[in-house]
Chains A and B, each alone.
Chain A
Amino acid sequence: MSALIFERSIKNRRGITLPEFDCPEVHLDENIVRAAAPRLAQVGEVDVVRHYMELSRNAFGVDNGFYPLGSCTMKYNPKLNEQTASLPGFSDIHPLQSPDSVKGALRLMSELSQQLCEVTGMDGFTLQPSAGAHGEFTGLLLIHAYHEDRKDVKRSKVIVPDSAHGTNPASANMAGYSIINVPSNAEGGVDVEALRSVLSDEVAALMLTNPNTLGLFDPNIEEIAKMVHEAGGLVYYDGANLNAIMGEVRPGDMGFDVVHLNLHKTFSTPHGGGGPGSGPVGVKAHLLPYLPDGTVVKEKFIANEKSIGRLRSFYGNFLVNVRAYTYILSLGSNGLKEASYNAVLNANYMMAKLKDHFPVAYPVPCMHEFVLSLQKLKDETGVNAKDMCKGLLDYKVHPPTMYFPLIVHEALMIEPTETESKETMDEFIRILIELKDKAYTDPEYLHNAPYTTPIKRVDDVLAARHPVLKAVL
């Protein structure tokens, strides 16, 4: 394990030096001035470089290898996007410069919004939300504002399928709604009858991911949207899985009123070890009057009288949006369609090759991802989904998402994305089958995996019982 940067600290060692002071000293009230310096690391530039090089060797990104982490769309992050985002004309402009001095930025934001409208079939976008969950919250506030504006104030509930991302119900709670969970049907889609039974004039919206977290396209979507609309509610599209459908079908055409996108998934911007992302929200015309402050339309900041307000400072994660714009220009109309086609092709190929070895939770054609259930393997060998994932680490591939969605026991959710080759997938399939055989011959081996990582399996329980959230200095 690496030393902490604080453990490399040597008293009075310095890295960066600054110019000599060229202005007179200022005396602030000593009651507010620090008596002792903060105990931050005192290291030289070489120390810093070696430290972070070591940390980077103990990290794994999609540039290191295959990353079939379901629901996360770990596609390749083009290097060109990094270059355009670092152009000084984008990275060194102040957010409060006059609009005349940032024409290029405003044009980029307008054009990106237009492009996203066309891909999703919506009428307007705000680029302010900074991540998917932030987009969800924004979308729900828009829905809230819409109902309020129509004096339709009884609507206090939001419907969420049991297969939904945890952020959906949590965002709805933040927007003041109580949640109605609806079960999935035998095909993994929304149980239409169950949905009908909970619809009422108290329902503000239904939140849906389509394709859903099982990687399945809900064929009843049109009817579902119609039912919700007839009950006076709106339909919210969680765009986490948009990578499956670009150029094939659009949320706007399926009947959705609001959508959020994850530019850090579908539009190739990097995940950065957890962020920054960008979660633009698109709406149909009836929700345009409520878009948040800081939204750019036709190269101007809008001033909506009925705006839901501001969701953060300034206008969003601008440099992430520059990357997504770069990606869309690079791929163009056909390229986006090809990306989705190949994402779906790759997922179906992997599923076809794995289905005889592991039960597929819903064995029907999938979209960009699919879910295996390792329940049978666990029952027969004691090796669970987590053990298999830890086993994968020794082969230097990132494991799939495990234990999600919650409705599948011992779930492994696999999303290869379009930027992976057949030979990479074949190798992963080979490894997974090899590990399965190992589970039957030597389950202990997998219970104790991984073996080649810088640390062995971590004690999660200890971390939560006795939280140590900072270094002892």
Chain B
Amino acid sequence: MASYLLNTQTQTQEMLDTIGIKQDQLFDMIPSKLRLKRAIKLPEGLSEMEVLQKLSALAAQNKVYSTILRGAGAEQHFIPAVVKQLSNREEFVSAYTPYQAEFSQGILQSIFEYQTDICELTGMDGANASVYDGATAAAESIAMVLERTRKTILIADSTHPHVIDTIKTYTSCHDTVIEVLKTENGILSVDTLKQALNQNTAALLIQQPNYLGCLENIESLAQMVHASGAKLIVYAHPLTLAYLKSPRALGADIAVGEAQPLGLSLAFGGPYLGYMAATNELIRRLPGRIVGQTLDTEGKRSFVLTLQAREQHIRREKATSSLCSNQALCALTASVYVAAMGPQGLKEVAEHSLRKAHYFQTELDKIGFTLKYTTPFFHEFVTKTPISAKKIESCLEQHDILSGLVVGPQEILWCVTETTTKAQLDEVVKILKEACL
């Protein structure tokens, strides 16, 4: 049994003597009636070797695919060795939230640099130190835009369903109205938006590229949103932002999203990384930790948790968010990834994904997997399938390939990243043609 305790029996006795109690008196403050009279019903502890064997056996019951063509909110990207090595440094891993600034400059600076990375990718003025994931980032952003007379949030139905669901949950106990707008040919049309906007609209939230992989016409939507006095929240894929115009340049007031593609493993859905960034006007409405630059008493540049008057430990029930723990280590990991890749590397990752996805789509089209939407896409796209989509999925499964996500009886949402080579894509198409159809 592992215990990680240090004190010997002699030391324990010395400590009990100092306190002035007997060994069995330590919990006397708990009414005996409430005390558990039996052992908790768990197995006895195991040695390190046995635990590792048991966990390895469990891990072996999960299938790790050699080719992954599934995204839908969780993507496989190449993670350079340097990213894992550095983000596993014990000083980062085993530290608490940097309350004592003088002792935590390394952590604070890493967050400040992460905030800068996010601002640079999104074009925003300020970012927070992260939230749990993309969906919670979107949900937290809703509280930033609500006004006394503006309580309606418009969301395009091309947004990730988990994002829409999370927003609905977060707003379920308030008088916020969530209106999900129907899209046409994979994207939100200006006409649909026009009809939905009114003086009660607080914001439009839209994903780019959207859940279906399509590229929304953010710029024209932005103009209309702003003309009606509402705000625009863009849920943007951070890697594509090395290639595409920033949400800010297209008119967004707030950019949020899932930053898992920036160096985090698939990890069965978490831990991931929700980023949040905003224009100056809305910075003080950002929830959670924010790191700011300041000076020490000798005038040296320093970093510190700042704008804390927004937060739960100061405002208590007047705070609009209870965020306390965030995903700091994931933010640091993303920052190391961004630094290791550099602007050129990030752009190449995005471009690889873009090119490969389009190549794969063209090849799929040749064997009868036609595009469902003709709107331009980035690295994800929906095709119809000539036979049942489930059959395609299980056929590829037999070849150790995780197909795209089945999103309809005869529809699959594919995702291609830099991790799949052209040769692999050709092989997938060959298998589809020869073995599946």
**Cβ-closest chain A residue relative to B123:** A38
A91 contacts B266, C-beta separation under 8 Å: yes
Point out the residues of chain B lying under 8 angstroms from A311, CB to CB: 136, 166, 169
A169 contacts B295, C-beta separation under 8 Å: no
Q: Does residue B227 face the partner (Cβ distance < 8 Å to A)?
A: no
Cα distance A33–B354 in the bound complex, in angstroms: 12
Point out the residues of chain B lying under 8 angstroms from A103, CB to CB: 61-62
Interface contact tally, CB-CB below 8 A: 710
Cα distance A384–B235 in the bound complex, in angstroms: 45
Residue interface mask B216-236, A partner, CB < 8 A = 1: 001100000000000000000
A131 contacts B304, C-beta separation under 8 Å: no
B327 contacts A458, C-beta separation under 8 Å: no
Cα distance A473–B123 in the bound complex, in angstroms: 12
List 15 additional contacts besides A63-B90, A94-B268, A95-B270; criterion CB under 8 Å: A55-B109, A90-B59, A90-B62, A93-B266, A95-B73, A130-B327, A171-B322, A173-B322, A219-B29, A272-B327, A313-B73, A333-B40, A335-B2, A345-B12, A458-B304
B102 contacts A45, C-beta separation under 8 Å: no
Q: Does residue A412 face the partner (Cβ distance < 8 Å to B)?
A: no
Q: Does residue A259 face the partner (Cβ distance < 8 Å to B)?
A: no
Point out the residues of chain A lying under 8 angstroms from B16, CB to CB: 345
B11 contacts A421, C-beta separation under 8 Å: yes
Q: Does residue B195 face the partner (Cβ distance < 8 Å to A)?
A: no
Q: Can you sample 15 A-B contacts with CB below 8 Å?
A: A2-B105, A22-B422, A23-B359, A32-B218, A42-B342, A97-B402, A103-B61, A104-B59, A144-B172, A175-B173, A314-B268, A332-B46, A338-B3, A352-B18, A401-B99
Residue of A268, A328, A459 most packed against chain B (CB within 10 A): A459
Shortest beta-carbon distance, B3 to chain A, in Å?
5
Cα distance A61–B64 in the bound complex, in angstroms: 33
A15 contacts B6, C-beta separation under 8 Å: no
B163 contacts A23, C-beta separation under 8 Å: no
Q: Does residue B348 face the partner (Cβ distance < 8 Å to A)?
A: yes
Point out the residues of chain B lying under 8 angstroms from A91, CB to CB: 265-267
B323 contacts A133, C-beta separation under 8 Å: yes
A272 contacts B316, C-beta separation under 8 Å: no
Cα distance A316–B170 in the bound complex, in angstroms: 16
B46 contacts A329, C-beta separation under 8 Å: yes
Residue interface mask A162-178, B partner, CB < 8 A = 1: 00011101111111111
> Which 4 interchain pairs have the tightest Cβ spacing?
A89-B59, A314-B269, A176-B173, A272-B329
Point out the residues of chain A lying under 8 angstroms from B29, CB to CB: 216-217, 219, 364-365, 367
Residue interface mask B294-306, A partner, CB < 8 A = 1: 1111101111101
Q: Give chain A interface residues in 410-443, CB to chain B under 8 Å.
A: 418-422
- Give the residue of B76, B101, B125 whose beta carbon is less than 8 angstroms from that of A458: B101
- Give the residue of A24, A272, A464 whose beta carbon is less than 8 angstroms from that of B307: A464
Point out the residues of chain B lying under 8 angstroms from A422, CB to CB: 6-7, 11, 14-15
* Given A249-B30, A274-B97, A456 contacting B300 (CB threshold 8 A): yes
Cα distance A390–B315 in the bound complex, in angstroms: 25
Shortest beta-carbon distance, A280 to chain B, in Å?
13
Q: Does residue A118 face the partner (Cβ distance < 8 Å to B)?
A: yes
Give chain B's interface residue range (CB within 8 Å of chain A): 35 or more
Q: Give chain A interface residues in 311-366, CB to chain B under 8 Å.
A: 311-320, 322, 325-326, 328-339, 341-342, 344-346, 348-349, 352-353, 364-365
Point out the residues of chain B lying under 8 angstroms from A369, CB to CB: none
Q: Give chain B interface residues in 69-111, CB to chain A under 8 Å.
A: 70, 72-74, 76, 78, 80, 82, 85-86, 88-107, 109-111
A179 contacts B162, C-beta separation under 8 Å: no
**Cβ-closest chain A residue relative to B421:** A22
Of B126-134, B149-157, B184-192, B365-373, the segment with at least 4 beta carbons within 8 Å of chain A is B126-134
* Given A89-B59, A91-B265, A136-B322, A336 contacting B95 (CB threshold 8 A): no
Point out the residues of chain B lying under 8 angstroms from A53, CB to CB: 86, 89
Cα distance A378–B297 in the bound complex, in angstroms: 22
Q: Give chain A interface residues in 275-291, CB to chain B under 8 Å.
A: 275-277, 279
* Given A61-B93, A90-B268, A334-B44, A467 contacting B126 (CB threshold 8 A): yes
* Given A59-B107, A173-B317, A309 contacting B165 (CB threshold 8 A): yes
Point out the residues of chain A lying under 8 angstroms from B41, CB to CB: 118, 333
Point out the residues of chain B lying under 8 angstroms from A320, CB to CB: 270-271
